[in-house]
Structure 1
Amino acid sequence: MIQVNDLRKSFGDEEILKGITATFEKGKTNMIIGASGSGKSVFLKNMLGLFVPDSGEIIYDGEPINEMQIERKSNLRKEMGMLFQHSALFDSLTVEENVMFPLRMFTKMRLKERQENANEILERVNLVGLNKKMPSEISGGQQKRVALARAVVNNPRFLFCDEPNSGLDPKTATVIDNLIQEITHERDITTVIISHDMNSVMEIGETIVFLKDGKLAWKGTNQEIFKTDNETVTDFVYSSNLFKKVRIAQNKGL
């Protein structure tokens, strides 16, 4: 579990995060949503330790990060997995080498053991037989699955995903969503996902934090978000014709 209490962050005279308090639950897919400029990325970077908040606290499984010694913070980072928006695979490494990279960096495993772990997680994300392929030789959806495999090969306690469906077609995006949720449940990970994709919210939004202008505007589940009367949320959710139709159908009791 990750608890965030009254988090604030400014750059110069501009306050980006304005006292956000939220809880991200273990074993669930926790989503951060909101329009561009709402503070989602800055919020995530504070949780990752890339930014230092001006005030407030971030607590990992009962441990406030601002009270951790340098060695403990270093160990915490080893317990984090990251799925980047554009996969961020190493072009010069094979699929297998990309997946093994965290094991080479953060463990003392021998090569054979690293390969066995890579093979196991590649099988889990349905990429058997692609070990020796280069990233340029596989599709965008396959690259995203390789990136997910790399993010979880080290059995992280915390998984962060930045727009994991960016650039993917709807069918492939659903595959990625389902894999993230399944692995989260299987491994009891605290997963935090930044997204603007309402299809993802509907599919896997077990807990949702909605940001507006650096503030927490709403929190709930994917079942509750379509029933809320919070106008800020409904304006965002029903900004597309698809979700306007969902709202109309709900109001008619269909």
Structure 2
Amino acid sequence: MINVQDIHKSFGEAHILKGISTTFEKGKTNLIIGQSGSGKTVFLKCLLGLFIPEQGNIIYDGKKYSEHTDDEKRDLRQEMGMVFQGSALFDSMTVEGNVMFPLEMFTKQSKSEMKDRVDAVLKRVNLIDAHHKFPSEISGGMQKRVAIARAIVMNPKYLFCDEPNSGLDPKTAILIDDLIKEITEEYNITTVINTHDMNSVMQIGEKIIFLKDGLLEWEGTKNEIFKTDNEAVTNFVYSSDLFKKVRQMYIQEQN
């Protein structure tokens, strides 16, 4: 679990995060949504420890980040898995090499132990025959699954995803959403996802926070987002005719 208490972050005179407080629960898919410039990326980087807030606390499973020693901060970062927007795979490494990289960097496991772990996570993301392929030889959806395998190979407590469906076709995006949700539940991970994809919101949004101008404007579940009368949220979520119709259908069913 991650507790966020009144965090503020500025760059020069630009006040980006203006007192955000929320909780991200373990074993659930927690989504951050909002327009470009709302503070989503800065917020995610604060959660990752890449940016340090000037005010407030981020608490990981009961301990404030500010109270961690340097060694504890290093250990905490090794408990974090990250899926980047563009997958961020090493072009010169095979699929197996990309997934094994964190184990080689941060553990003292034997080669056979690392190989067994890589085999296990690649099997979990349904890539059992891709070990010796290079990123350029596989599809965008497969690259994303490699990125997820690499993110979970260290058995993290926390999984962060930045626009995991970026550049994917709708069908593949749904498969990636389902995979992230399944892994979150199986591994009991605290998963936080930055996304613009409203399909993701409606499909896996167990906890959704909506940021606007650096403030937490709204939070709730994928079902509660249908009911909200918060104008900023409805203007953002229901900007397309499709989602307007979905909301109308939901309201009619409830009545």
TM over 0.5: yes
Inter-partner Cα distance in structure 1 for 2:80 and 2:4: 17
How many pairs were matched up? 254
1:80 aligns with 2:80: yes
> Tell me, which stretches of 5 or more residues in structure 1 are unaligned?
none
Shift of 1:106: 1.0
SS at match of 2:167: coil
| Residue identity in the other structure for 2:183 | I
1:21 aligns with 2:21: yes
Note the alpha carbon deviations across 1:115-136, whole angstroms, 9 max, x for none: 1111111111111111000000
1:187 aligns with 2:187: yes
| Residue identity in the other structure for 1:135 | P
1:242 aligns with 2:230: no
Note the alpha carbon deviations across 1:192-238, whole angstroms, 9 max, x for none: 00001010011111101110000000000011111111111111110
| Residue identity in the other structure for 2:12 | G
Partner of 1:158: 158
Query: Percentage identity across aligned positions?
Result: 66
The alignment's TM-score, normalised by the length of structure 2, stands at: 0.98
Note the alpha carbon deviations across 1:90-124, whole angstroms, 9 max, x for none: 00000001011111111111111111111111111
Give runs of ≥4 in structure 1 deviating > 4 Å: none
The alignment's TM-score, normalised by the length of structure 1, stands at: 0.98
Note the alpha carbon deviations across 1:24-43, whole angstroms, 9 max, x for none: 00010001111111000000
- Root-mean-square deviation (CA), in Å? 0.9
Partner of 1:90: 90
Partner of 1:137: 137
Partner of 2:204: 204
Inter-partner Cα distance in structure 2 for 1:82 and 1:253: 39
SS at match of 1:132: coil
Partner of 1:68: 68
